[in-house]
Amino acid sequence: MSLSIIFMGTPEFSVPTLRSLVDAGHRIRAVYTQPPRPGGRRGLDLQKSPVHQAAELLGLPVATPVNFKDLEERQRFRDLDAHVAVVVAYGLLLPEAILTGTRFGCYNGHASLLPRWRGAAPIQRAIMAGDKKTGMMVMKMNKGLDTGPVALTREVEIGDTMTAGELHDKLMLVGAKAMVEAMNKLEHDELPLTEQPADGVVYAAKIDKGETRIDFSKPAANVHNHIRGLSPFPGAWFEAEIAGRPERIKVLGSELAEGGGTPGRVLTDDLVIACGFGAVRLTKLQKSGGKPLAAADFLRGTAIAQGTTLAAGPT
C-alpha cells in the first residue's frame, strides 16, 4: 500500500521532497504551487516555480490557485480525496478547510528546531543569531504559525563558516528523507505526535532589505554571522568609493581575523576589516552587475586600499 498525497510547495527547497515521495512509491494526486510570476531579464515572461517545473517533468497534475478563499477551490482540494497533504515552503497560509481537507491532515517540513525560529526565514535567522545547530522538523499543521505538534526531528550542525545557501542545500536533502520516513510511518500508523514546548519560542521574521547593510561597529562575530546568514541572497553589503564614486559591494563570504581598530578601517591588503570588537576578513565579494569573486580576484580589478575606512554602519 502507499499513501495518496497532495503536495504543496514552491521553491527549489521543496523539489527534493516531491521527488523523494514519488520515488518512495506514494501516489501524488496533485501538486499545488504558487502561480507563475513575472521574470526574465525584463520581467515580461511568466516563470513557473521550481516545483511547477519538477511536477511537469514527473507528469503530475499542477494547481496554482492565488489563494483558497473561493469555496469551489476548497471543494476541488477535498474532492482529490487524498490521505494527506505534504507542505514544504508553499508560501500561502492554509485555512481550516484545507488543513482538514484530507483524511490525515497536513504535514509540514519546517527548517528549524521548533519552537525556535517559527516563521518565514528560519535558515537565515539561525545563522545570523550564531546558532550552532538547526534541523528539519515534520510537523502536523494547525491554524497557528508553525505551532503544530512535531512528528519527526533531524538535527543538523551549523559550521562556523557555513552560509545560508550551504545550509539551505543541506537541509532540503535532510528534509526530503525526513518527510519520506514520516509518511512511511504515517502509512503504518506509527507516527507519534509531540506538542511543542511553551518555552523557547523565537520568530524568524522575513529578511528586510533595510537590515542587509553591514554594521562594522558591531563585534566581529556578529558581522561574520550577518554576512554568512545573508549569503548568497539577498547579500550583506557595504559602500566604498570606487573610481571616485560610491558603489555598493556585496559580501558573500567572510571569516574571523586578528586585528582591531576604528570600526570599518581596512587593516590589511587582503581585506581584514576592523569591527567594534575584533576583525573580519572578507573572502568573497560582488560588485553590482558583476560576478561573485574570491577576494584576491576582486582586488585585482577593484582597489580598496589598506587604511581606507568604510562606513561603520547604516547612515
pLDDT digit string, tens, across residues 168-183? 999 999 999 999 999 9
Classify strands 106-110 and 116-119 as parallel, antiparallel or unpaired: unpaired
Instruction: Please say whether the structural domain 4-203 has been given the CATH code 3.40.50.170.
Output: yes
Length of the chain equals 315
What's the DSSP call for residue 257?
A: E
In sequence order, what are the beta bridge partners of 27? 4
Task: Render pLDDT for 5-49 as a digit per residue (tens, 0 to 9).
Answer: 999 999 999 999 999 999 999 999 999 999 999 876 666 789 999
Q: 311: alpha, beta or left, given left = phi > 0 and alpha = psi -120 to 50?
A: beta
Q: Report the candidate in 304, 303, 306, 283 with the shortest Cα–Cα distance to residue 293.
A: 283
The two counts, helices (H) then strands (E), for the chain are 8, 16
User: Domain 209-301 sits in which CATH superfamily?
Assistant: Formyl transferase, C-terminal domain (3.10.25.10)
pLDDT in tens, 42-66: 667 899 999 999 999 999 999 999 9
Residue numbering of the annotated binding site for (6S)-5,6,7,8-tetrahydrofolate: 112-115
CA-based angle 275:261:257, to the nearest 5?
55
Task: Please state the pTM of the whole predicted model.
Answer: 0.95
4-203 matches 209-301 in fold: no
Q: Which three cell numbers stand for residue 156?
A: 543538523
Contact predicate 134/167, CB 8 Å: yes
Annotation: binding site: 112-115
Domain positions in the chain: 4-203, 209-301
pLDDT tens-place string over residues 227-285: 999 999 999 999 998 878 889 999 999 999 999 999 999 999 999 999 999 999 999 99
Angle (CA) 287-269-245 rounded to 5° is: 40
Structure confidence at residue 156 as a pLDDT band (50, 70, 90) = very high
